[in-house]
Amino acid sequence: MVSSAPGALARYRSLPSIASGPWMALAMAARAPYAMIPLGTMTAITVSTGSIATGGLASGLVAAASAVAGPLIGRAADRSGQRLVLTILTPINALALSLLLVAALSSWDGPLLWAICLLTGGSAVPVGSFTRARWVELARDPKDLGTALSYESTVDELSFVLGPALVGIAASTAFSAAPLAIAAALVAMAGIPFAVTTPRRERDGAGLTDRSADGAPDPTDRAAARRVPARTVTGEIPAVGSVPPEAPFAEHPAPASVADAAPAPSIHRVLLAVLPAIVVMVCIGAFFGSVQAGTTERADVLGAAGSAGIVYAFMGLTSALTALLAVLLPDSVTLAARVLIGGAGMAAFVALTALMGTLTTTGATLMLAGLFIGPTMVTAFSLTERRTPPGGTGVAMTSMQSSVTVGQAAGASLGGVLAAAIGAQGAYGLAAAVSVVIALVGGVVVLRRR
């Protein structure tokens, strides 16, 4: 159990010494545009073509391409290092976004537009996944790693909140394609520097070594071989390479020393190992998408369509706060129990949201639901880190981001259909259903442990 709340929160001050403050700031800026692209694409293409169906298809193609490419990009990073992958993909993505901006300004439609959308999504860099994989390599202490994952989830939550808000502000105050212009500029000005300053990975007599831009060994590279092994849900430290008998639901560490020595596992093997976390992340994404659809429908019915984003942001703010405070959870509360409690809390309060009749009460109940989202997302990434086979960190982490993307697209689409057919209650009902699935995943793990 953590010794004290101040002591646990003080661990955040150690993060810049584990990595570096400038790197953390650059990573935050580099991931910002990717929270703007889905909604920015839909807004820009809808206005330019005059068809919301075309805008929705364009946004869906970007999301689908990103989801499919994510694990493949992660595999390439596992094999060749992040720097090579980033320096190739980031300029391509900046170019693709620029082409998408031109397409929006020129009212392009048809195959050329679809091809640009696929290129944009397929070259999207999973910055959040790469930074998490980097923390796995750098953090020596499991508590430091847990703190880093909580920090990363907080940054993600803030991106989910501020990205769509920035899209709305830019599109309304400038022009409809302005969010795409901002995203392209951020990829060029923050994404490319993030790529070229990422240590490259070289193989020498000791295995894979991260090296800085001048070729010297990266002084921040603390191999996970020197890290205290992560504990399983039982509190026991497993032997290197061992898999507890409750697989695939149990947790086990993936020391970097083994990862460096062993060949990279197949993508199928990695995805199977982290399947429980994938299910949780798909459901979290679906929760986001369906809640957004339900809130938009309710705001429109109440004559305040422009307030939907603000009401939705309430949930994101409390979620980001509790993600930051997840380090305060005692070790006695297992990861499985956290998933169970998180899913149950999300289900209860989003079901309550469905019964509300005003935007004020809707925002209040969504804030309560958000309290359970942040820790659940942090837990999913912790479970992923412990379940990942040696050499599969990149695939595992990018699959988490792809899972959220797929879930959010599916939740928004199906939630929108339900909201149009039976009102906001339909979309909120979908959010409650996927929350129950999250709780069931945690419950299955708890029962198997018993």
Q: Supply the CATH number for residue 187's domain.
A: 1.20.1250.20
State whether 194 and 266 are in the same domain: no
Distance CA 42, CA 120 (A): 13
Q: Report yes or no: 406 and 288 within 8 Å, Cβ to Cβ.
A: no
Distance CA 140, CA 228 (A): 6
The number of C-alpha atoms within 13 Å of 385 and in the hemisphere containing its C-beta is 31
State whether 191 and 259 are in the same domain: no
Q: Report yes or no: 93 and 187 within 8 Å, Cβ to Cβ.
A: yes
Q: What is the pLDDT of residues 89-148, one digit of tens each?
A: 999 999 999 999 999 999 888 899 999 999 999 998 888 878 877 887 787 777 788 788
Distance CA 97, CA 120 (A): 6
Q: What is the pLDDT of residues 175-212, one digit of tens each?
A: 888 889 999 999 999 888 888 887 665 443 334 444 44
State whether 160 and 296 are in the same domain: no
Instruction: State the 10-residue block means of pLDDT for the chain, 450 residues long.
Output: 56 78 85 81 81 76 85 84 88 94 91 93 86 80 80 76 70 80 91 81 44 45 40 32 36 41 73 88 89 83 76 83 80 85 95 93 94 89 81 80 81 82 91 96 80
State whether 188 and 286 are in the same domain: no
- Does the pTM exceed 0.75? no
Distance CA 58, CA 206 (A): 47
Answer yes or no: is 231 within a domain: no
State whether 60 and 192 are in the same domain: yes
Our CA angle for 386, 396, 184, nearest 5°, is 135
Domain C-terminal end among 202, 228, 253: 202
Helix, coil or strand: residue 211: strand
Answer yes or no: is 225 within a domain: no
State whether 288 and 419 are in the same domain: yes
Answer yes or no: is 228 within a domain: no
Number of domains composing the chain? 2
State whether 150 and 290 are in the same domain: no
State whether 274 and 137 are in the same domain: no
Answer yes or no: is 411 within a domain: yes
Both tokens of 443, joined, read 């419950």
State whether 267 and 186 are in the same domain: no
State whether 179 and 255 are in the same domain: no
Answer yes or no: is 208 within a domain: no
State whether 155 and 248 are in the same domain: no
Counting Cβ atoms within 10 Å, is residue 228 exposed (0-12), middle (13-18) or buried (19+)? middle
Please give the torsion angle defined by the CA atoms of residues 361, 363, 364 and 370, in that order, rounded to the nearest 10 degrees.
Answer: 150
Q: Which range of residues forms the domain containing residue 363?
A: 240-450
Q: Report yes or no: 406 and 63 within 8 Å, Cβ to Cβ.
A: yes
Ramachandran region of residue 235, left (φ > 0), alpha (ψ -120 to 50) or beta? left
pLDDT at 433: 96
Both tokens of 373, joined, read 């989202």
| Per-residue DSSP letter, 190 | I
Distance CA 254, CA 193 (A): 29
Distance CA 291, CA 416 (A): 10
